[in-house]
Amino acid sequence: MKTTLFTMVAAIMATLVFAQDQMALTESGKKVILKSDGTWEYLAEKKGQCTNFDVELYNLAQNRVVKGQSLAYYYNTAWSNVRSSGEDSYDAIAHFEQAIVLNPANGGLYSDLGNCYRGGFKCYEKAKYYYTKAIDNGFSKGFVYYNRAICNYEMNRLDEMRSDFEMSQRLGWNNDYYELSAK
């Protein structure tokens, strides 16, 4: 009886001590879960979910868009919003989206929209989608691959991150601000 009890307690303790996920802080102060299998994910933002994105504010921005304007109007208004409010501008997103409605084959618009979702709202899955759309529409600049690599890194998709990072360098993008080459 004592041996069985001791074995059960030892097994439980080993599980708790050695197989337990641990919390840690990144250099930028974000909380991550370090899993026992060697992987990690953000605590507040799992796998690219938009935890910083407010749907109500987005809907209000959509309602402020003046319909029936030109592509140049929507594009310039979007960039005006980025310059005045930063990439976390719901109005910029709404205007980039309206520009895409008018010119869905313009890959640069998708890249700009991806920048808002990645840089402004940390919505990495959505940003990655728009960077992929940019590339699919012929906007295959090195910085687009680099930005998509950042998204993959933030979602702990390291093989995809490395592939995009290498492609960004092959296309002449030599800036490594996020130091992805060391990851």
* pTM exceeds cut of 0.75: no
Task: For the chain, list the domains and their CATH numbers.
Answer: 1-44 (no CATH), 48-182 (1.25.40.10)
Coil, strand or helix: which one is 6? helix
Computed over every residue of the chain, the mean pLDDT equals: 83
Three-state SS letters, 122-173: CCHHHHHHHHHHHHHCCCCCHHHHHHHHHHHHHCCCHHHHHHHHHHHHHCCC
Render pLDDT for 109-128 as a digit per residue (tens, 0 to 9).
999 999 999 998 999 999 99
Render pLDDT for 4-57 as a digit per residue (tens, 0 to 9).
544 444 444 444 444 455 656 566 555 566 666 666 665 554 445 677 888 899
The Cα-based distances of 174 to 137, 154, 168 in angstroms read 23, 20, 8
* More confident call, 53 vs 94: 94
Render pLDDT for 119-168 as a digit per residue (tens, 0 to 9).
989 999 999 999 999 999 999 999 999 999 999 999 999 999 999 999 99
Maximum CA extent, the chain: 82
| Predicted local confidence at residue 34, as pLDDT | 65
Which secondary-structure segment (H or E) carries 74? helix 71-85
* More confident call, 174 vs 160: 160
| Predicted local confidence at residue 148, as pLDDT | 98
Range with the lowest mean pLDDT among 61-65, 137-141, 177-181?
A: 177-181
| Predicted local confidence at residue 13, as pLDDT | 45
Coil, strand or helix: which one is 32? strand
Q: Which residues lie across from 101 on neighbouring strands?
A: none
Which secondary-structure segment (H or E) carries 11? helix 2-18
| Predicted local confidence at residue 81, as pLDDT | 95
Coil, strand or helix: which one is 63? helix
Position 53: which residue type?
Answer: F
| Predicted local confidence at residue 176, as pLDDT | 83
